[in-house]
Structure 1
Amino acid sequence: MDRINRMVLERPVVIFSRSSCCMCHTVKMLFREFGVNPVVHELDEIPRGQEIEQALSRLGRSPTVPAVFIGGELVGGINEVTSLHLNRSLTTCVKRIGAVESSRVAPRPSVCNPTEL
């Protein structure tokens, strides 16, 4: 558990992932679209990855990946991150902790208003 605590303080946003997990890929891409460059630990590619995954399980993560930490705090997985994104709290959260690299922020797609057509 101490190892995870140290790892999640490496950067403002830390993601524990598996390279073959499509939900993990989705979470990583979402943060990158916001201009966030998270530390990503691919548990199937690093030494002691299985041990870290077991520790994440003890934190109540099921499935264990993706596991997203923002500002050293466990936010959750795909469901929690998606919920934050949909209620527009995710951008506020990552901006508040200084995780957004302003030069990398992807432009927001414009919303088409049918009455303007």
Structure 2
Amino acid sequence: MKLTHFMPLDSLTHPLPFYFDSRAPNKPSRSHSLYINSHFPFLPFQLINDTLVHLISFLPLSLSLTMQVLKSATKMQAATPPPPLNQLNNMRPYEMVHHLASSNAVVIFSTSYSCMSSVAERFLISLGVGPTLVELDQQPDRSAIWSVLYDLAGSDHQPVPAVFVGGKFLGGLETLMANHLNGTLVPLLKEAGALWL
């Protein structure tokens, strides 16, 4: 019996290797599925098994590539990153805000230290939306972007989080929650293409 040696998904933290039986290359053992299920309990067991069957069919690929595919397939991306800054550097702040808002279904302008921004992001994620996050404290022209957001939010409102849906300024966390409670948020998200169902 010839065994092919594979390193585990978390090879740095878990020293046990994977072994696939070369006589049945398209059939993972139950222990492999249980191992992955223990590391990714939120995935259905059948999905893990089906994914392993699919990946084992690509045995000629290098191990690291195969295992990275499985690992990246199980990572849940909370939010999509904004476009590279070099595309936006030539734009004025208003144009940059408008471009980001109109080219993404949902955008949240936030700061890394704003708890209200985190709540808005997590709330949208809980609805099934992957918002694009723009953290102002990491932008080179943050003060100019702040002034644009202040103009949009009004002088008596906090400018972050600034939520844009379908290219239009929705508001901050209070407006986001108010729209959810009155039943208008989900239709807005569907119209913007942020929700499929």
Quickly name the TM-score band, shorter chain normalised: 0.7 to 0.9
What's the Cα RMSD here?
1.4
Question: Conserved in 2, the CA contact under 8 Å of 1:16 and 1:65?
Answer: yes
Aligned-pair distance for 1:50? 2.1
Which structure would you say has the larger RCO, counting Cα contacts within 8 Å and 6 or more residues apart? 1
Secondary structure in structure 2 of the residue aligned to 1:9: helix
1:75 is paired with a residue whose SS is: strand
- Asked if 1 retains the 8 angstrom alpha-carbon contact of 2:102 and 2:168, the reply is no
Instruction: Name the structure 1 match of 2:144.
Output: 51
Name the SS for the 2:174 alignment partner.
helix
After alignment, is 71-80 or 53-62 more displaced?
53-62
Q: Give the TM-score normalised by the residue count of structure 1.
A: 0.80
Query: 1:84 and 2:179 equivalent?
Result: yes
> Unaligned 5+ residue runs, structure 2?
1-93
User: Partner residue of 2:119?
Assistant: 26
User: Residue 132 of structure 2 is aligned with which of 39, 49, 55?
Assistant: 39
SS in 1 for 2:112: coil
Larger radius of gyration: 2
Q: How many residues align?
A: 102
Contact 1:10 1:39 in 2 (8 A): no
- How many percent identity over aligned positions? 33
